[in-house]
Homo-oligomer: A and B are copies of this chain.
Amino acid sequence: MNPARSFEDLVRWRRDVRRFRSDPVAPEVLENLLGLADLSPSVGNSQPWRIVEVRDQHRRAEIQASFKRANDQAADGYHGQKAELYGSLKLAGFDKAPVHLAIYCEQDGEQGARLGTRTMPEMLSYSCVSFVVTLWYAAQVQGLGLGWVSILQPVEVNSILAVPPNWTLIGYLLIGWPEEEHEVPELERAGWQERTPASARRFVR
């Protein structure tokens, strides 16, 4: 397989996965993924990502409850058919995903000596997103699925995980073996939102 074709396949087949098999992920597989993602781009080579592997069942349950509260509130924001459709969506795979990772950004670390962050301090958080995206493709290479949960109140998650106050939640990731693979996003298959033509997003100046 040539590298271009291979990366294109990764991008085409990467999905936000919410339906997992409960089979475990071998520790060395997770280790390799996290090691590779640690080479992601970061502003000033600051590597500001902080990876919290959530293993404690009690903490997992608290985070799932936090998701449920945020999701119920979000559901209240829709009406009629859209509300019905929202209620029918499966938006997170807490029930089965064997690996839970909370990804944080340390906002005022020493590493990188603030290069590239003075006018755009958000570059630190963006560097942590680059970690997540690299991890996502690396997981896909191994046939592993990743679901990025953002329907959470960060302040609740921070408290449940007892993280330092200078850490910002970037996302809560559920990782495991997917029940099935699809080229079309689940939100499109469910009739929530399809992709739209890219030309509408292109401008010239």
A residues at B contact (CB < 8 Å)? 1-4, 6-12, 14, 16, 34-41, 43-47, 49-56, 59, 70, 73-74, 77-78, 82, 86, 89, 91, 102, 111-120, 122-123, 125-126, 129-130, 132-134, 136-138, 141-142, 148, 150-154, 161-162, 169-171, 185, 187-188, 192-196, 198, 201-205
Residues of chain B within 8 A (CB-CB) of A53 are 202-205
Nearest neighbor of A127 in chain B, beta-carbon distance: B129
- CB within 8 Å for A187 and B1 given contacts A45-B193, A126-B170, A150-B43: no
- Structural contact, B41 and A148, CB atoms closer than 8 A: yes
Known A118-B151, A120-B171, A130-B133; further 19 A-B contacts with Cβ < 8 A: A3-B9, A6-B6, A7-B138, A11-B39, A16-B41, A38-B195, A41-B133, A43-B150, A44-B193, A47-B196, A50-B203, A73-B118, A74-B115, A78-B113, A113-B193, A119-B154, A122-B125, A133-B134, A162-B205
Closest CB in chain B relative to A58 CB, distance in Å: 10
Min distance, Cβ A38 to any Cβ of chain B, angstroms = 4
Of all chain B residues, the one with the shortest Cβ separation from A3 is B6
B-side contacts of A40, CB under 8 Å: 11, 133
How many chain copies?
A: 2
Residues of B within 8 A of A196 (CB): 47, 111
Shortest CB distance A192–B (Å): 7
Judged by DSSP, the binding face of A is: mixed
Given A3-B10, A118-B77, A203 contacting B52 (CB threshold 8 A)? yes
Which chain B residue lies CB-closest to A12? B39
A141 contact set on B, CB distance < 8 A: 3-4, 7
Enumerate chain B residues within 8 angstroms of A151, measured Cβ to Cβ: 116, 118-119
A36 touches B52 (CB 8 A): no
